[in-house]
């Protein structure tokens, strides 16, 4: 019989890819210990506001048993009671018998389920944001390093005007900076459910405090503050609005779209042999084709990013069908979609960081491709030079048109190199500007303001975006060892 870890399905998100900190954030240990902390926080706040039935002994017992969860007892209780929260109330009560009568006092199940999830989402976003900032910083460094290296631009994946390797990378950085802003905004907007009761009216707490509305409001504020949130949602049904989940999922899915685009671009450039992801010395690209260097990391980014993007639709549909104060058809879906979104985003970030740390550029390949296309792009410059040398523009246009078609035929029909420049040099008509050809064909004169754009973009956009993360970036974000 295989050992238990291999005898049942395990999500590859946790068993193969996820960082330890994100895997723990959505673990049973984190979830159920957070439930116990919430019950403790509620009891402390209720006691502070005058509920005499809550004793110091009860508080002390709860405090002493926040993490020693007897999962066997909890499982047996859940099987018997068919209610996960009440199973854990009972299990906690066995560990802290003096507190058993007041655990969960006045609360509904969503006090622990919703609030614990909001804590996990808050902590999950706090894990993701520094990693995203580090990815932006690393890629920005790449853009700066290669800001002056000309490369052939592509529109429709067809040769277009030149850009630079660094300028192209700023397009990727810009998307990630937008994601940093979007995810940061979702984090800043996140609030606590607080203590709202079974349908959000706080009726049970009003009864506990003998109709004292001020104390009920104080309880909500106190539990929210003690749980590390600056504010609670002012109104809820039984649950906080599921639009909150949709908001988070949208921000993460939008990052997934950015990651997919970046990884796809690198895959295309790898095909051109211009830029590659890191490739380990002993890495095998194909079991059959020993020469292959497959872009496996980028392919994995694309694969996981598609999953991340698809999860956003769960948030929209779940938010849309929450009847009145709530229905339970949100629960099973959210247990899958929200943790998976965080785990997937975390994994994609680790992959991107690994790729950005070791991206390889091949300037000679890039230069050769430019040399194949630049003569055609330079024809207008050559015409202008001939006019300045006294030539007739229309005559020059016809001369170079004929030579261009001959060179294109050699490239496309004969499989040869682009020999337009050699044809121009061999044509007496162009003799006056032959000494200028090297200058006219310098790739750096075809990239416009690309280098200056990179410098300005990094200064006015990237630097301010990374400023809030200066301390954590200075310390360095912990790297994850990848299974590649």
- 233 within 8 A of 146, measured Cβ to Cβ: no
- What's the pLDDT score for residue 291? 46
Please, what is the Cα angle at 322 between 319 and 323, to 5 degrees? Answer: 150
Q: Residue 205 has which token pair?
A: 């707490």
Catalytic residue list contains 33: no
Strands (E), 94-216: 150-155, 158-164
- 350 within 8 A of 129, measured Cβ to Cβ: no
pLDDT band for position 479 (50/70/90)? Answer: low
Mean pLDDT of 290-313: 87
How many other CB atoms are there within 10 angstroms of residue 165's CB atom? 24
pLDDT band for position 16 (50/70/90)? Answer: confident
> How many whole angstroms separate alpha carbon 314 and alpha carbon 249?
9
> How many whole angstroms separate alpha carbon 316 and alpha carbon 417?
54
pLDDT for 287 beyond 50: no
Architecture of the domain spanning 109-362+458-475: Up-down Bundle (1.20)
Q: What is the mean pLDDT of the chain?
A: 91
Which of 301, 281, 302, 285 lies closest to 293, judged by CA?
Answer: 285
> How many whole angstroms separate alpha carbon 296 and alpha carbon 412?
32
pLDDT for 2 beyond 70: no
How far is C-alpha 452 from the chain's CA centre?
A: 28
pLDDT band for position 85 (50/70/90)? Answer: very high
Mean pLDDT of 71-83: 90
- What's the pLDDT score for residue 362? 96
- What's the pLDDT score for residue 303? 96
Number of H helices, E strands in the chain: 21, 4
Q: Is residue 185 helix, strand or coil?
A: helix
Most confident of 133-142, 157-166, 319-328, 401-410: 133-142
**What is the phi/psi pair of residue 155, to 5°?**
-120, 135
- 63 within 8 A of 25, measured Cβ to Cβ: no
> How many whole angstroms separate alpha carbon 112 and alpha carbon 42?
10
Q: Which residues contact 302 (CB under 8 A, 6 or more apart)?
A: 260, 263, 264, 267
- What's the pLDDT score for residue 421? 86
- What's the pLDDT score for residue 14? 80
- Percent of the residues in the chain that have a pLDDT greater than 90, as a whole number: 69
> How many whole angstroms separate alpha carbon 428 and alpha carbon 158?
33
Which of 304, 303, 293 lies closest to 269, judged by CA?
Answer: 293
- Span of 32-46, 217-231, 246-260, 464-478 with lowest mean pLDDT: 464-478
pLDDT for 285 beyond 70: no
pLDDT for 286 beyond 60: no
Domain limits, the chain:
23-95, 109-362+458-475, 379-440
pLDDT for 483 beyond 60: no
How many other CB atoms are there within 10 angstroms of residue 189's CB atom? 11
- What's the pLDDT score for residue 481? 53
Mean pLDDT of 130-140: 97
Catalytic residue list contains 286: yes
> How many whole angstroms separate alpha carbon 274 and alpha carbon 373?
15
Element housing 360 (H / E): strand 360-361
pLDDT for 312 beyond 90: yes
Beta strands 150-155 and 275-276 are: unpaired
In the chain, the N- to C-terminal Cα span, in Å, equals 29
- What's the pLDDT score for residue 110? 93
> How many whole angstroms separate alpha carbon 477 and alpha carbon 466?
13
Longest distance between any two alpha carbons in the chain, whole Å = 106
- 42 within 8 A of 225, measured Cβ to Cβ: no
- Span of 236-245, 335-344, 417-426 with lowest mean pLDDT: 417-426
Options 15, 286, 303, 313, the catalytic residue: 286
> How many whole angstroms separate alpha carbon 339 and alpha carbon 242?
15
- What's the pLDDT score for residue 476? 79
Q: What is the CA radius of gyration of the chain?
A: 31
The residues that bridge with 361 in the sheet, in sequence order, are 275
At 377-418, the pLDDT tens digits run 888 888 888 899 888 899 999 988 999 899 889 888 988 888
At 178-203, the pLDDT tens digits run 999 999 999 999 999 999 999 999 99
- 26 within 8 A of 123, measured Cβ to Cβ: no
- What's the pLDDT score for residue 309? 96
Mean pLDDT of 203-231: 95
Q: Which residues contact 65 (CB under 8 A, 6 or more apart)?
A: 36, 92, 95, 96
Determine the topology of domain 379-440 in CATH: Ribonucleotide Reductase Protein R1; domain 1 (1.10.40)
- What's the pLDDT score for residue 433? 87
- What's the pLDDT score for residue 203? 93
- What's the pLDDT score for residue 331? 84
- What's the pLDDT score for residue 5? 62
Q: Residue 52 has which token pair?
A: 């005499």
How far is C-alpha 268 from the chain's CA centre?
A: 21
- What's the pLDDT score for residue 394? 93
pLDDT for 58 beyond 50: yes
- To the question of domain 23-95 being in CATH 1.10.3720.10, the answer is no
- What's the pLDDT score for residue 135? 97
């Amino acid at each position: 019989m295989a050992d238990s870890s291999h005898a049942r399905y395990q999500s590859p998100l946790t068993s193969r890819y996820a960082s330890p900190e994100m895997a723990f954030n959505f673990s049973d240990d984190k979830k159920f210990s957070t439930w116990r902390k919430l019950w403790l926080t509620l009891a402390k706040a209720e006691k502070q506001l005058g509920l005499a039935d809550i004793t110091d002994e009860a508080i002390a017992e709860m405090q002493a048993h926040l993490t020693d969860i007897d999962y066997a007892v909890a499982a047996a209780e859940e099987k018997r009671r068919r209610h996960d929260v009440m199973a854990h109330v009972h299990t906690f009560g066995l560990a802290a018998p003096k507190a058993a009568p007041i655990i969960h006092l006045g609360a509904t199940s969503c006090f622990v389920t919703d609030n614990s999830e909001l804590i996990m989402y808050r902590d999950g976003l706090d894990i993701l944001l520094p990693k995203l900032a580090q990815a932006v910083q690393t890629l920005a460094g790449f853009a700066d390093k290669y800001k002056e290296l000309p490369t052939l631009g592509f529109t429709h994946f067809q040769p277009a005007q030149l850009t630079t390797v660094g300028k192209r990378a700023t397009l990727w950085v810009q998307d990630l900076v937008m994601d940093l802003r979007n995810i940061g905004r979702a984090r800043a907007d996140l609030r606590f459910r607080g203590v709202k009761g079974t349908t959000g009216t706080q009726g049970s707490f009003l009864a506990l405090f003998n109709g004292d509305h001020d104390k009920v409001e104080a309880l909500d504020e106190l539990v929210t503050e003690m749980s590390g949130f600056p504010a609670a949602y002012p109104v809820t049904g039984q649950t906080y609005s599921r639009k909150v989940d949709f908001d988070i999922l949208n921000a993460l899915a939008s990052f997934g779209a950015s990651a997919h685009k970046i990884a796809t671009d690198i895959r295309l450039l790898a095909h051109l042999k211009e830029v590659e992801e890191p490739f380990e010395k002993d890495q095998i690209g194909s079991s059959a084709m020993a020469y292959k260097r497959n872009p496996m990391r980028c392919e994995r980014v694309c694969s996981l990013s598609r999953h991340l993007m698809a999860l956003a639709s769960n948030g929209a549909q779940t938010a849309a069908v929450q009847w009145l104060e709530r229905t339970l058809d949100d629960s099973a879906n959210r247990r899958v979609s929200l943790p998976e979104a965080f785990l997937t985003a975390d994994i994609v970030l680790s992959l991107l960081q690994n790729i950005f740390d070791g991206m390889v550029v091949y300037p000679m390949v890039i230069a050769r491709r430019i040399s194949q296309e630049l003569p055609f792009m330079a024809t207008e410059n050559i015409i202008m030079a001939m006019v300045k040398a006294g030539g007739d523009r229309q005559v020059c246009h016809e001369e170079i048109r004929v030579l261009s078609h001959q060179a294109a035929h050699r490239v496309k029909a004969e499989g040869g190199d682009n020999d337009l420049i050699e044809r121009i040099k061999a044509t007496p008509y162009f003799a006056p500007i032959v000494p200028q050809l090297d200058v006219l064909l310098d790739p750096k004169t075809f990239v416009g303001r690309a280098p200056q754009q990179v410098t300005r973009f990094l200064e006015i956009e990237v630097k301010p975006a990374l400023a809030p993360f200066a301390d954590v970036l200075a310390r360095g974000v912990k790297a994850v060892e990848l299974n590649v």
